[in-house]
Amino acid sequence: MPFFFKFWNEHPALLYGLAFAGGITLAFDQLWCLAPLGMIVFSILEHKHRLLLFSLVVAAAFCYVHLTILMPPDEPIQGKAHIHISSVRPYHSTFREGFIVRGTLVSFVPDGASVSVARNVPFSLKAGKNREAVNQDYVIQATLRHQKHLFVKKGTHWQPVPWTFSLAEWRFQNKESARAYITGKISHSKAASFLSGMATGLFDDNTLHNELSRFGLQHIMAISGFHFALVALLLNLCLRLFLSDKTSSITLVILLTIYFLFLGSSPSILRAFVMATIYFSGKIVERQSRALNSLGAALIAVLILDPVSLMTIGFQFSFLVTAAILIFTSPIEAALQIIFKKRSLSELIDMSPLDQHGYILSNALRKLLALTISVQVVVIPLSLFWFQKFPVLSLLYNMFFPFLASLSLFLLILGLAVSWLPPLAGVIHAINSAYTNWALNLAYQLPMSLDLWIRIQQIPMLLAAGYLCLLFASGIFIKIIYTEKHREQRELAYL
């Protein structure tokens, strides 16, 4: 199908990223992925070289999983665990306080055995307040439950593994320092908790989290690709005020790398980091990058580092929502011009000042609606698949609340940037504190009567996969038509 092949020819990294994801999915015995793989193969069937390389990538990913990953049994098992720690965060409950430790289970050897039953899979465990320094690997005696949860008895000896290293302790200490600094500058406790959580990912205000979850805003409370991309945008705007385009791009790549090491490599953050790095590196070498190609490169990078993440909620939401934004937003915005007509510059100049302001608002509304629709065509079915429910008011709140949160983060970064001028920084932090507290109150402790939910039974995996296949196949088809039409319009305008 030459029509679709042109799209793959312009986005080869996305094509091979999907091939790599397909091979990993097959390795985990998820045969439903044969449908999307078959659709892609059919679209490149006439191009033997591309088809051969696609098949080789699928096979390589399949072998990579079987060589590097060994999933543990479902039943509880006791033994020695070799753990590599990637993150640690505090937690509080009614009866206990301590830390949640996460990372990679390098191996797990059951008691009385000599062969590991697990290899390179994620784990989590709860540690007490007097935990070990998590700056290296450890071997511990533990019980492995539900394939990834380690239960460690109080007083268990943590045996350090020589010649190993982890950034988890450095990351945790710096996040704690950043959170303490933000809390000291923001007077409203609710706003301080929100801003420190957005900046560091260490969010432990369960009340606020639950309140925002009622309106589908829980993604705002966890550090994610959204926050990373937003920080990249804000830093880029600030740097370009003082530096040349190329110099600001080089500086930004360095700053984003440091910020990435500070946050940790969750799938959504790594995706945003890879895409941002490719984009700004392209500006450094004066080469234009394609966003969908960058998404494919990020897909490969994430799955090489952690193939198991493919089956997680965070991975699927991050990549599918980003793909939906990149594929659907422009065509949907063009379709919405039937309602919100786009005007030429000459027409805009001839308008009265009132009409000009009205046009600007309608133009912004058109873009906002296009973005919202693009996101929701994926978010709604994914939410129903994973949680069997979807908050109706999230359709409204996600149209404006992420923007409000973005402004809060912008003010925070601005206040930090002028911290060498304490009076000015103090004023900015005071404004941010009051503003953020006001924004949070828009979704805080509202009447329960506003909680409207769509609830359904469990959606079969095959049905969800089929919907997404048809959705993105249709989206690619529409985007190709839109791109060709847009290219013709530019050529005619030039003539």
How many Å apart are CA 280 and CA 291, to the nearest integer? 12
Please check the confidence at residue 35 and state whether its pLDDT lies above 50. Answer: yes
Give yes or no for a contact between 428 and 436, defined as CB atoms under 8 angstroms apart: no
What's the pLDDT tens digit per position in 285-324? Answer: 778 888 899 999 999 999 999 899 888 888 888 899 889 9
Q: What is the pLDDT of residue 363?
A: 79
What's the pLDDT tens digit per position in 92-136? Answer: 766 778 888 899 999 999 988 889 988 999 988 888 878 888 889
Left (φ > 0), alpha (ψ -120 to 50) or beta: where does 80 sit? beta
* Confidence class for position 20, pLDDT limits 50, 70, 90: very high
Residue 342 burial (10 A CB sphere; 0-12, 13-18, 19+): middle
How many Å apart are CA 381 and CA 464, to the nearest integer? 7
Please check the confidence at residue 470 and state whether its pLDDT lies above 80. Answer: yes
pTM above 0.85, yes or no: yes
Q: What is the pLDDT of residue 108?
A: 92
H or E element that contains 230? helix 225-239
- Average pLDDT rounded to a whole number, residues 231-254: 80
Q: What is the dihedral of CA 451, 312, 404, 292, to 10 degrees?
A: -130
Please check the confidence at residue 353 and state whether its pLDDT lies above 60. Answer: yes
What's the pLDDT tens digit per position in 441-463? Answer: 887 777 777 777 888 888 888 88
**Quick one: CA dihedral 42, 43, 48, 50, positive or negative?**
negative
Q: What is the pLDDT of residue 478?
A: 85
Please check the confidence at residue 34 and state whether its pLDDT lies above 80. Answer: yes
Higher pLDDT, 216 or 429: 429
| Averaged pLDDT of the chain | 83
How many Å apart are CA 259 and CA 36, to the nearest integer? 35
* Confidence class for position 491, pLDDT limits 50, 70, 90: very low
Contacts of 370 (CB under 8 A, 6+ apart): 328, 329, 330, 332, 333, 336
* Confidence class for position 23, pLDDT limits 50, 70, 90: very high
Q: Which range, of 138-142, 167-171, 242-246, 353-357, averages the lowest pLDDT?
A: 353-357
What's the pLDDT tens digit per position in 86-99? Answer: 988 888 766 778 88
Higher pLDDT, 493 or 183: 183
Distances (CA, A) of 86 to 123, 124, 218, 262: 10, 10, 23, 11
- Average pLDDT rounded to a whole number, residues 204-225: 68
Q: What proportion of the chain, given as a percentage, has pLDDT over 90?
A: 16
Contacts of 89 (CB under 8 A, 6+ apart): 99, 100, 172, 201, 202, 204
* Confidence class for position 335, pLDDT limits 50, 70, 90: confident
User: How many Cβ atoms sit within 10 Å of the Cβ of residue 401?
Assistant: 20
Q: What is the pLDDT of residue 495?
A: 45
Q: Which range, of 65-69, 272-276, 402-406, averages the lowest pLDDT?
A: 402-406
Q: What is the dihedral of CA 354, 356, 357, 360, to 10 degrees?
A: 160
Please check the confidence at residue 402 and state whether its pLDDT lies above 50. Answer: yes
The residues facing 124 across adjacent strands are 102, 149
Higher pLDDT, 146 or 175: 175
Q: Which range, of 200-214, 260-274, 324-338, averages the lowest pLDDT?
A: 200-214
Please check the confidence at residue 63 and state whether its pLDDT lies above 90. Answer: yes
Give yes or no for a contact between 174 and 258, defined as CB atoms under 8 angstroms apart: no
Max mean pLDDT range (18-22, 347-351, 448-452) = 18-22
